[in-house]
Amino acid sequence: MAENRKMRGLKTWPSLFIATLVLCLMASFLSVGMPPVSAAVPPIENTMPTSCGSRATSPRHYEVAASPETVHWGYYSKNLAPVIAINSQDYVTLETITHHAGDDYDRMIAGDPAVEDIYSWTAEGKIVSDRGPGVHILTGPVYVCGAEPGDLLEVRVVDLKLRPSGMDPTKTYGSNASAWWGFQYDNYKEDPKPREVITLYEMDATGEKPWAEAVYRYQWTPQTTPDGQAHETIDYPGILVDHDTVTEIEDTLAGVKIPLRLHLGSMGVVPSEADVVDSIPPGYFGGNIDNRNIGVGTSLYLPVAVPGALFSGGDAHASQGDSELDGTAIETSITGVFQFVLHKQTDLAGTILEGVNYPLLETPDSWIVHGFTYPNYLEALGEDAQEEIYTVSSLDPALKDSSAKARDFLMNGMNLTEDEAFSLITVGTDFAITQVVDGNWGVHGIIPKGIFAEETVKPMPAAS
């Protein structure tokens, strides 16, 4: 009898396995909503279209290399000409360059012609002359054909890889700035206080060692830029630090390995409220969200505010903790592969994404709602919003905003009542401080997918 049971088990195993696999896949599509991992990303094409034409029958893959012509430094703008135009479901390989490479020119700029050009600054001027009002080097914008205000743009993070140093292709470097805008700046206990400190980290560009190790640190000293301006603090993007003026302390975090958490701190579409928008404060349009969870295998949903969406990405991080407390993450340069999927406003009703008008992150295990001190600071604070936001941020309204968005997401997407939603939020949702350094402070709520039965979750909308 035992032998017969064994043989029956062997005979039925393939069909049981296939049935189980099918059920698992169906569950992942119906209840979880996460897009399936593509079997293969199409090869990169040698063209970079800048206008919308006829749509191909299958997704295309394009590359936007970082250069003075494809980056914009410190701002989002609806008046900025797109560097590429794509269709929904196309892929884009996007090179991003850190705005902190000037902290160590030899390791983070030298030998890389594109980065050398982007950072070029002599007495005669800069190649990328328009810098500010923010600090981030952003690659783009990417125009998504057919995107209109009211739609949702899904940005799937397919791959992220460190950009090798121009002087050593096996290594990548990144910088952490403990700076004047950090939460710690008025809380030092040792002298001199306050102070700004740069810590340089080394990573393995081959991907074999998934950690970062400190190389040295130095205290910021006044720097003079080629235009003759003195900078007492880290107050202008792209300053090339003269290392003859600083003391490098190599005995820094000895024996410590920081696990890598590759992500882009800034992923955003263009808001409609102003012609030029500071790249630092995030908002309903995304931008400088600085959430370490936006890694490979996740999708970021962004509400479209202008035709074409005009997506840009940058502020790449090798690793960051929640809050980004001292001012920055490990700022580095990363090349990412992204798939852009458009969800039309007319397709959102009755789906899990109905009512989403803020950056929503989907991971394999959770939904993450982003709240801010001001969900739309550009509208709420009026004509001086881009200056005032730096003086009025607080975590209390950010938590209130995040919890309200979590409530609405659960009511709309999971058919819960308000009382049910708040109970679930309290007992089953984790809230974390996203960042306290970007002007518009952030709190995100992490809603686990696994607590919901399949039949309680509304479906995903169709992709355009």
Give residue limits of the domains in the chain. Answer: 61-345
DSSP assignment of 273-312 equals S-SEEESSS-BTTEES---TT--TT-EEEEE--STT--EE
- Give the whole-number percent of the chain exceeding pLDDT 70: 92
Token pair belonging to 398: 């950010």
> Is residue 14 pLDDT above 50, yes or no?
no
Give the Cα separation of 79 and 206 in Å (integer).
39
Q: What's the pLDDT score for residue 81?
A: 97
Q: What's the pLDDT score for residue 39?
A: 52
> Is residue 7 pLDDT above 70, yes or no?
no
How much is the CA Rg of the chain, to the nearest whole Å?
A: 23
> Is residue 321 pLDDT above 90, yes or no?
yes
> Is residue 35 pLDDT above 80, yes or no?
no
DSSP assignment of 432-458 equals EEEESSSSS-EEEEEEEGGGS-GGGSP
Q: What's the pLDDT score for residue 34?
A: 53
Contacts of 316 (CB under 8 A, 6+ apart): 96, 98, 160, 262, 263, 264, 265, 331, 332, 333, 334, 336
Instruction: Taking residues 447-464, report their average pLDDT.
Output: 95
Give the Cα separation of 391 and 286 in Å (integer).
20
Residue 53 pLDDT level (bands cut at 50, 70, 90): confident
Give the Cα separation of 440 and 373 in Å (integer).
6
User: Tell me: the pLDDT tens digits for 330-368?
Assistant: 999 999 999 999 999 999 999 999 999 999 999 999 999
Q: What's the pLDDT score for residue 384?
A: 97
Residue 9 pLDDT level (bands cut at 50, 70, 90): very low
Q: What's the pLDDT score for residue 370?
A: 99
Token pair belonging to 316: 């790449």
Classify 10 as helix, strand or coil: helix
Query: Could you tell me which CATH number the domain at 61-345 has?
Result: 2.60.120.580
Q: What's the pLDDT score for residue 309?
A: 99
Cβ atoms within 10 Å of 129's Cβ, excluding its own: 10
Q: Which residue has the higher pLDDT, 5 or 326?
A: 326
Instruction: Taking residues 117-126, report their average pLDDT.
Output: 97
> Is residue 18 pLDDT above 90, yes or no?
no
User: Tell me: the pLDDT tens digits for 379-426?
Assistant: 999 999 999 999 999 999 999 999 999 999 999 999 999 999 999 999
Contact 445, 424 (CB under 8 A): no
Average pLDDT over the chain reads 93
Lowest mean pLDDT among 22-26, 174-178, 286-290, 329-333: 22-26
Q: What's the pLDDT score for residue 1?
A: 37
Lowest mean pLDDT among 266-280, 308-322, 422-436, 450-464: 450-464
Residue 15 pLDDT level (bands cut at 50, 70, 90): very low
Tell me the one-letter amino acid at 134: G
DSSP assignment of 114-162 equals HHHHHH-EETTEESS--B-SS--EEEEEEEETT--TT-EEEEEEEEEEE
Token pair belonging to 4: 């017969």
> Is residue 436 pLDDT above 60, yes or no?
yes
Token pair belonging to 57: 């029958």
Residue 32 pLDDT level (bands cut at 50, 70, 90): very low
DSSP annotation of 28 reads I
Q: What's the pLDDT score for residue 66?
A: 99
- Give the whole-number percent of the chain exceeding pLDDT 90: 90
Instruction: Taking residues 371-378, report their average pLDDT.
Output: 99
